[in-house]
Structures are given as structure tokens and as C-alpha cells.
Structure 1
Amino acid sequence: MALWRSTFVVSAMTMLSRVLGLVRDMVLLNVFGAGKEFDVFVVAFRIPNFFRRLFAEGAFSQAFIPVLTEYKTGRLHAEVQILISRVFGCLLMLMSTITLIAMIAAPTIVYVYAPGFHDHPEKFAHAVQMFRLTIPYLMFMSLTAFASSILNSYGSFFSPAFSPVLLNIAMIAGAWWLTPYMDTPILSLGWAVIAAGIIQLAIQIPELWHKKLLIPPKVDFKHEGVRQILKLMLPALFGVSVTQINLLLNTIWASFMQDGSVSWLYSAERMTELPLGLIGVAIGTVILPSLSARHAEQDTQKFRAMIDWGARVIILVGVPASIALFMLSTPIIQSLFQRGEFTVQDTQMTALALQCMSGGVLAFMLIKIFAPGFYAQKDTKTPVRIGLAAVATNAIMNVILISIFKHIDWYAPHMALGISSSTSALVNAGLLYYFLHKRGIFSFGLHWKKIAVQYMVANLAMVFALAVGLHFYDGTLSQWLRISEVVGLCLIGTLAYAVALLATGFRPRHLRP
């Protein structure tokens, strides 16, 4: 039950963050539209976000939590405090240096990340300016991830899970209230991002102080714990960040496409993050400290059972989420974003991108529980090898699909990027499971045959309910009525799914860890 309570806390806060994220995107796209100006923000902000997930929430957390859990389980509290102090000092120094170098090298970084912008001097200059404004967010969020990892390891999930909510609030406030006072309106979002980074770090401090874990930083790269984290972190830099690297590659391709392509992909990606954040990230956040503890205790049975529990929950939610995003792509985008500067064409292009990305939602979610199965055992090399295969798949698929589909009249070039991203995620999740199974860590046992039939029947019932409901959807109504229609469709689909699931004999108790 402790796992469910922790998952509920993280899931509830993530849901709040994702809902506010949708409101944020509605406000931003209404104010700025899906054109050159918003393309500039998406590219500039995605760069610090890329490094944040690469260094902070990605590789660092996956390497730090198992080591911290080992110290917490088998050593004195004073030794844990020393570890935290040394990691704090080294992380602060590294992130400050990286931030400074990035600000100096901003034109080069933007050119590498979005080379297509270089042919448009004004667009490129604004992207460089926005990047320099937002890159300090990397340092603040790295320290926030450090604090969150400590609190998660000690069973505290509320404030770490709540902190992303503050980013959405800050950006909404920046778009509404700061924009009118800016000579370059889009820069208001840059200042909002910096404010959010400071606040997100600040809310972690009181709880760290209360647990006597707010320790002054000291740089010591020779400390055994720091060396162990660095050893685990270097390969994990790639392994846990395949999705971000694929987004980087996709952004490079999109920068050469027509204006709006970056924004369409961004908007579609944001929609896929709703189910991913609600369940995938929540369970991934909760399960790593628990798996690390089971590994430290050498309890292989509970280790395997924990991954099995995560898979049951992920597939229960992930499959219907993927199907619903595909079937309701146009109504969802139309109801949420088609207003103000966001045009009918923007809706059509974003819906196409969402349909292409929806196929990878389940795979993205499964990665969140399969990868920790390796990281909890301090195996960072296997996910790296798998990540290389996934990135190669994405790159090859992009080249092939863009070359083929550019000759098809109905095809929009950015669709290739969505299809490639989904295919890459499927390869990543499939290979992670293959090696978990091969090494006897986890496999879908005989009990999954019954579960698979139950899930299949429930999903077929949902598809039928959504297909009928779509005949009554009216996209010509006002925005709030369209939103009400989409909410109604989601409720109908959920009800059909739940009733069919119960009719097959499935019960909530079957999801107990």
C-alpha cells in the first residue's frame, strides 16, 4: 500500500501539473500562435530542458538514488550527510560551469540545435537571446532534481512532485501580465522560466532542513560516493536520455521545415505527456528507490514483483491512452488550442503529429519501469547499448520517411518525425524487456494471458464507444463547449473501458503490489 500511496501523491501532483500545462499551452498559443515567435521559444527552452533531463532528472537521478539508498540502508546518518554535501558541491560546480559556457557559446549551440534558423537572421538572433535568458534554468533545476532525489529516497514525494506546477503558473503569469511590458513580447516567457527555477528549488529547502539533510556544499570529487555516482552517471547520460536526444534530432529536422513545424510537434508532444506524466513518470519516480532498496536487501522475488506491478498499471492505462489520443486527436487539439493566433491549419497539422506520436505512448511509459530495473542494480551500460539502437532507429527512420513521403501530396513532412519517434520508443522498450527477460530479472508470466484478454476486451469496448461518440462531436461550437464535448467523449470511453474490464472478472485488488 505504501507504493500506491506514494504513486497517488506523485500522480495527483503530476495531474495538476499536466492540467495546468494544458492551460499554459492554451494561453501561450492563444497569445503567440504557432508561428516564428513561438518556434523561437520552443527551440530556446528545449535546449536547457534537454540538458536538465540529460544531467539532472535523467542520468544524475538514476545514478544518485541507488547510491544514496545504499548509504541510507547500510551506513550512519552522518555518512549520508557527508555524501550529500560532497555531491551538492560537485553538482553545483559542474552546473555553474556548464551554464556559463553555454551562455558564451549560445550562437553555436542554437545553430547546432536549429540550423534551419540560421537562414533567417532575425529568428536566429531572437533564439540566441532567448536561450541566454533561459539557460540559468538548467542550474536551478539540477539543484531541484538533487533535492527531489534526496526527498524521494526518504519517502517524501509531495514537494518534488508539486514543483513542476510552479513552472506552469509562472509561464501563464508571464504570458498574461509581463508580455505587454516587453519590447520583444516572447522574452516574457524567458523571465518567467528563470523565476520558476528559483521558486521550484526554494520549496524543497524547508523539508530538507527538517530532515537534517540541508548540508553546506563541499567540492570533493575523490569521495567514494561521488566517484561511484560519476561512474554510474557517465553511461547513464545517454541511456536515460534517448527520448531527449530523439527530440533534439527531430527539432533539427523541423527547423528546416515550414514555419510552425516546431510548434506543431511541440503541441502534439505535450498531449502525449499527459498520460506519460500521470502514470508513467509517477510510477517511475516511486519505483526506483523501492527497487534500489530491494536490490540492497537482495530480495529478488520482491524486486521482480515490483516490476510486474508497474507493468500491470502501465499497460492498464497506456494502451487506452494511446488509442484515445489517436482517435480523438483532432477534437482534442481543436478544443484546446484553436483560438486566437492558433488557426485551423495549425489544428490539422498538430493533430497529424499527435496521431503519429500516439503509437509510442505505451512504449514511453514502459521505459519508465523497465529502465529502473537495470539502474537499481547499478547497471547503466545495458540501457546505453539499447539507447544507441533506439537513436539509430529514429535517425534512419527520419531519413527514409522524409525521402519517401515528400512525394506524397497529402503528406506533411513533420509527420515523419512523429512516426520515427514512436518507432524508436517501441525499439527501446522492446529491447529493455528482452534483456530483463534474458537475465531472469522480469518476464510476463502465465498470469499475463488472462490479463491480456481482459485488457483487450476492455479496449475494444472503448474503441466502439468512442467511434459512436465521435459522430455527435461538433467542432463549430465555442471553445468551452468543444472542451465539454471532448471531456464527455473521454468519460464515455473511460466508462465503457471500466465496465468491460469488470465484466471480464478484473477487480481493483488485482493491482495490489
Structure 2
Amino acid sequence: MSLLRSAATISGLTLLSRISGLARDILVARTFGASPLTDAFWVAFRIPNLLRRLFAEGAFSQAFVPILGEVRNRHGQDKVKILLDHVFIVLLYALMAITALGIIAAPWVVTAMATGMSHASTDSAFESAVWMTRVMFPYILCMSLVAFASAVLNTWSRFAIPAFTPILLNLSMIVACVLFTDLFTTPIYALAVGVMLGGVAQLLVQWLALAKLGLTPRPTGSLKRAWADPVVRRIIRQMGPATLGVSVAQISILINTNIATWLPAGSVTWLSFADRLMEFPTALLGVALGTVLLPSLSAAHSKQDTQAYSHLLDWGLKLVLLLGLPAAAGLALASDALVATLFNYGAFDASDVQQTRLSVMAYAVGLIGILAVKILAPGFYAKQDIRTPVKIAIGVLIFTQIMNVAFVPYLHHAGLALSIGLGATVNAGCLLVGLRRRHIYLPGAGWMVFFLRLAPAVLALALWILFLQQYMNWTDLTPGTINAWIGDLLRTFLPAGLTFTLSRLLALIVLLLSCGVVYFAALFLAGFRPADFTRRRGQ
């Protein structure tokens, strides 16, 4: 099976996840708008998510996947099962302790995360954030075990289930928003319950997938014996610098969330919805490629195949540019279309659209950097070198906060998004230089020709978006615009409210489909063919 097909499988399922996530956020925006209580939910939700990215998907996966792949390649199935048992036991006890501590310390955690909510004027929002944090904190336990299962499944090239399970969280939150809100005096509390139900559902599905492979860990062993396992100790030693590296990025998010709570009400929500849009290209491309590359890079490293190692990185970076540049152009130039069509309903008004749009445009500036980090960092992780990316990340954290000081007084919440994007770009540049200087990555021939072919296609796409945007108005059916013409056609047999919604949706589909046709036609004319980006495992 080709790496491109594996990445496409992950991207396709991730697309469904992001669509269901957008449906979830549209429903949240329509029901709750951008209010202090909505900000409280996003703050509370971000706390277990931060820990999930820090310990589960971040440090743990970076340390565990290369070592698990090494044990699988060099030892038998029995050794693998023993390792899985021992890692699971240590992970389970650690997570139980973290969860208990988090529930007890929720008021202090929320204060650290969002100091702006501790003011008297926002007492209700602060208390709500604490309540929801306590309800959702066990989510970190569920999702860390999900990350454990995902690491095993990805190592065995079972990419579909880990890519599918996030859909369950979104569906659970949608059900909670629709059915559970009447059960609480503070209706938004229903979302916190939905998060926990989604976490349990994801864990159950992944555990069943492990059982089919015969790799379900047994929790009956001794913690002392598991802790004494030298391979487990090695994973833990690797997790130390990995945790520091991932925590740098999460500290940046923590600082930005904290700053946003001091900005006008709604700032956290505007950034959250902008981040949701950014997750589309980030997850569909960056995460998908990073997921399939890490096991392949680890295998190339174990075989000492330096040529294959560089070819894999070449392949990933070219795909990032081929698909990431048009995504960045689309987000920057059509941000009003995306935000208005997806969120401008009910309590989420036109001013919220404008504020969220500014965040999306700011994020788009650094999209290529964000995506490139997902490709370049595994270049170090696969060689079990986690310290170098950590050092780079610490420098980027300092640089990002300097940019916050410069941007936020003038750009407010959009300045926070811009700092993250530019920081990621600097991070990617430093990783690339580090890989080149250590001769880990030796770029193949043809990069100049690649850029000369790609640039006209991206330019054609940008000009096409600017041309179409003249004939569209996304917050109103202004006469003479494309969406108004579509609305006129629909008005004869649909209610007025539904006409407005569908006309914008159809206009957005027309915009996106036409952009795809223009871009890929330009790529074809420039000489690109699908075979240029197809490579099979082991090549």
C-alpha cells in the first residue's frame, strides 16, 4: 500500500471528523453565541485537551512509536506483548493520579489558564469553568489510553480506526447540545458531559481494534515490575525531553488563552472557531503525513537507509507545499466566506464573523510553517533525537511572546493568532536547517523546477478567488451577488430562513469547487501528475 494512499485514508476520515466538528461548532455558535459562558466552556475544554496533546499525542507518541517499532522489528511478538503490558500499567497509574489531582485543583488550574476570569465581573464564568473542568478532567485518562492504542495501531499500519474515532467525540457533543441542555440550569454544562461520553466511546472502539490484533494489554501485572522494565525506562527517558518540547507549544497556547481572557468578551471563542478552520488543512495534511511518515522513517533509520530517509522527507515537504499553499491562500482570501457560512447563525452575529475572520487571516500567514513542522519534527523523532526539536521550540516560545508584545496591543486577538503562525514558520525553518547541517536530510534534485511549476498555479488560484469575491456577500443576500442569485432560485419553494442558509452554503460550494478546478488544472498544465507523489512503503 502506498504512503500516499495511507495518507489519503487518514485525510478522508479526518475530513469527516472535521466536518462533524464544524457541525458541532455551528450548533454551539447558534445555541450559545460568543458569550462569557461560551468562553468558560472553551477554557475548560482546552485544559484536558492541552494535557492530551502534552502527554498523550505529544510526548508519549513521540517516545513510544519509534521504540515500539524497533522492538517489533528486532524481537518477537512475545516481547512486544510484554512491552505493551508494562507500558499500559505505568501509563494507567500515572493517569489516575493526574486525573485525581486535576479534579481537586480545578480552581487553581482555571485561574492559571484564564486569569481574566477570576475578576468579580466574571465570577459566574469562572465558577462554570471550574465545574466543567472537573467534569471533563477524566477525559485526559480516556484520551491518553486512546493515544496508546493509536500508537500501536499506526505501527501495525492500521491507520483508519485512529483517524475515525474523533468523529465519536463530535457526535457525542452534538447529541448533548441537542438533547441534554434542558437537563441543566446552566445549559452549556451539557457540552461537558458530551465530551466525557465521547472520550469513553473513542476508548472503547480503539480497544476493540487492539483486541482484533491480539495486542490488548493486560492490566494485571505489577507496577514495580513494569517500572523496572529497561525498555519502559528508555521510553520514559525519551518522554522527558519530548514532554518539555511539546509543553513549550502548549505553554504558548496557555499564555495566548490567558491573554485572550483579558481582551473583549468573545475573544476566546473567536480564536477557538478560527482554530477549528485551521484544523482542516493542519489535520488533513500535516497530521496525516506526520502519522504515516514516523513509522516509515523509523523503519528506514533501523535499516540505516539514509537515501530512503531523505526521499521520505522530500515527499512529505513537496506535498505540504503542493496542497498547503492553496489552502493558505484560500483561508486568507476567502475567510469571510468560510466563517459566515459556517458560523453566522443565531447568536453568532456579523460582528463575530468579522472578528473571527481576522483570526483566520492571521493564522493563514503561518499555515505552511505549521504544516512543515509536522513533517520535519519526525525527521528527528525517528532517530530518537528529541532534544534538538526541544531546544528549537524553547527559542520559538520566547520569540512568539516577543511578537505578542508587539502585535496584541494593535491587533488584539488576531495578534495572538499571527504570533502562533509566525512562530511555527520560524520553528520549521530552524528544524530544516538542523536536519541539513547534520546531514540527516539531503534534499533531492528538482526543487527549483518544482517551485517554478507551483508558483503560477497558486497565483492563478489567488486571482480567481479575488475575482469571485467581488460577486459575493456572505453576511447578507445583497442584490446582484452570486449568493443572492442562488437565493432567488431557492426562494420560490423554500422558507426565507432556509433560503439564506442554503444559498450561502451552495455559493461556498461553488467557490471551493471552482477553486479546485482552477488550481488542479493549472498544476496539470504546469506538468504535475499524480504519479509524481506516489511512493510505496519500503521504497
CA shift for structure 1 position 342: 0.2
CA contact (8 A) 1:235 1:384 kept: yes
Partner of 1:471: 470
Partner of 2:218: 216
Q: Quick one: structure 1 residues 494 and 242, their matched pair in 2 at CA, closer, same or farther if it must change by over 3 Å?
A: farther
Aligned-partner Cα distance in 2 for 1:193–1:375: 31
Aligned-partner Cα distance in 1 for 2:465–2:442: 33
Equivalent position amino acid for 1:100 in 2: A
Partner of 2:527: 505
Partner of 1:484: 506
Partner of 2:174: 172
CA shift for structure 1 position 210: 2.0
Cα distance per residue 1:7-38 (max 9 Å; x no partner):
12211110100111111110111011011111
- Note the 1:120-199 alignment, pairs <5 A: 120-199=122-201
Partner of 1:36: 36
Partner of 1:73: 73
Aligned-partner Cα distance in 2 for 1:325–1:79: 48
Cα distance per residue 1:405-425 (max 9 Å; x no partner):
2xxxxxx51121011111111
Aligned-partner Cα distance in 1 for 2:314–2:420: 26
Residue range with higher mean Cα deviation, 466-475 or 106-115:
466-475
Equivalent position amino acid for 2:434 in 1: F
Aligned-partner Cα distance in 2 for 1:179–1:14: 28
TM-score (norm 1): 0.97
Partner of 1:2: 2
CA shift for structure 1 position 206: 2.1
Cα distance per residue 1:72-117 (max 9 Å; x no partner):
0000111110000000000001111001101111111100000000
Aligned-partner Cα distance in 1 for 2:196–2:231: 31
Determine helix, strand or coil for the equivalent of 2:304. Answer: coil
Aligned-partner Cα distance in 1 for 2:462–2:506: 20
CA contact (8 A) 2:9 2:160 kept: yes
CA shift for structure 1 position 177: 1.0
Determine helix, strand or coil for the equivalent of 1:221. Answer: helix
Partner of 1:98: 98
Aligned-partner Cα distance in 2 for 1:361–1:239: 20
Aligned-partner Cα distance in 2 for 1:508–1:155: 23
Partner of 1:46: 46
Where in structure 2 are there 5+ consecutive unaligned residues? 478-499
Residue range with higher mean Cα deviation, 491-500 or 332-341:
491-500
Partner of 1:455: 454
- Note the 1:286-305 alignment, pairs <5 A: 286-305=292-311
Aligned-partner Cα distance in 2 for 1:402–1:413: 4
- Note the 1:423-434 alignment, pairs <5 A: 423-434=422-433
CA contact (8 A) 1:52 1:142 kept: yes
Partner of 2:283: 277
Equivalent position amino acid for 2:396 in 1: A
CA contact (8 A) 2:366 2:425 kept: yes
Residue range with higher mean Cα deviation, 131-140 or 394-403:
394-403
Aligned-partner Cα distance in 1 for 2:337–2:165: 30
Partner of 1:338: 344
Q: Quick one: structure 1 residues 414 and 21, their matched pair in 2 at CA, closer, same or farther if it must change by over 3 Å?
A: same
1:420 aligns with 2:383: no
Equivalent position amino acid for 2:526 in 1: T
CA shift for structure 1 position 500: 1.0
CA shift for structure 1 position 248: 1.2
Partner of 2:331: 325
TM-score (norm 2): 0.92
Determine helix, strand or coil for the equivalent of 1:238. Answer: helix
Q: Quick one: structure 1 residues 2 and 505, their matched pair in 2 at CA, closer, same or farther if it must change by over 3 Å?
A: closer
Partner of 2:490: none
Aligned-partner Cα distance in 1 for 2:362–2:207: 41
Aligned-partner Cα distance in 2 for 1:127–1:374: 38
1:230 aligns with 2:236: yes
CA shift for structure 1 position 446: 3.5
Equivalent position amino acid for 1:492 in 2: S
CA contact (8 A) 2:314 2:444 kept: no
Aligned-partner Cα distance in 1 for 2:473–2:45: 35
Aligned-partner Cα distance in 2 for 1:482–1:24: 19
CA shift for structure 1 position 173: 0.7
1:383 aligns with 2:382: no
Q: Which runs of 4+ in 1 moved over 3 A?
A: 240-243, 443-446
Aligned-partner Cα distance in 1 for 2:45–2:213: 34
Supply the RMSD in Å over aligned alpha carbons. 1.1
Aligned-partner Cα distance in 1 for 2:442–2:330: 27
Where in structure 1 are there 5+ consecutive unaligned residues? 406-411
CA contact (8 A) 1:335 1:480 kept: no
Aligned-partner Cα distance in 2 for 1:402–1:212: 52
Cα distance per residue 1:154-206 (max 9 Å; x no partner):
11111111110101100111111111221111110111011111110100122
Equivalent position amino acid for 1:484 in 2: L
Cα distance per residue 1:265-284 (max 9 Å; x no partner):
11111101101111111111
Aligned-partner Cα distance in 1 for 2:3–2:294: 11
CA contact (8 A) 1:44 1:127 kept: yes
CA shift for structure 1 position 226: 0.8
Equivalent position amino acid for 1:39 in 2: D
CA contact (8 A) 1:336 1:479 kept: no
CA contact (8 A) 2:241 2:386 kept: yes
CA contact (8 A) 1:238 1:387 kept: no
Aligned-partner Cα distance in 2 for 1:206–1:463: 46
Aligned-partner Cα distance in 2 for 1:207–1:260: 40
Aligned-partner Cα distance in 2 for 1:240–1:61: 11
Residue range with higher mean Cα deviation, 443-452 or 175-184:
443-452
CA contact (8 A) 1:133 1:190 kept: yes
Aligned-partner Cα distance in 2 for 1:333–1:242: 29
1:115 aligns with 2:115: yes
Determine helix, strand or coil for the equivalent of 2:440. Answer: coil
Q: Quick one: structure 1 residues 382 and 193, their matched pair in 2 at CA, closer, same or farther if it must change by over 3 Å?
A: same
Partner of 1:259: 265
Determine helix, strand or coil for the equivalent of 1:203. Answer: helix
CA contact (8 A) 2:311 2:444 kept: no
CA contact (8 A) 2:69 2:155 kept: yes
Equivalent position amino acid for 1:97 in 2: A
CA shift for structure 1 position 443: 4.3
CA shift for structure 1 position 227: 0.7
Partner of 2:403: 397
Aligned-partner Cα distance in 1 for 2:150–2:403: 36
Determine helix, strand or coil for the equivalent of 1:240. Answer: helix
Partner of 1:20: 20
How many residue pairs get aligned? The number is 506
CA contact (8 A) 1:466 1:492 kept: no
Aligned-partner Cα distance in 1 for 2:511–2:345: 21
CA contact (8 A) 1:367 1:432 kept: yes
CA shift for structure 1 position 296: 1.0
Determine helix, strand or coil for the equivalent of 2:228. Answer: coil
Aligned-partner Cα distance in 2 for 1:9–1:461: 29
Aligned-partner Cα distance in 2 for 1:13–1:50: 23
Aligned-partner Cα distance in 2 for 1:333–1:326: 11
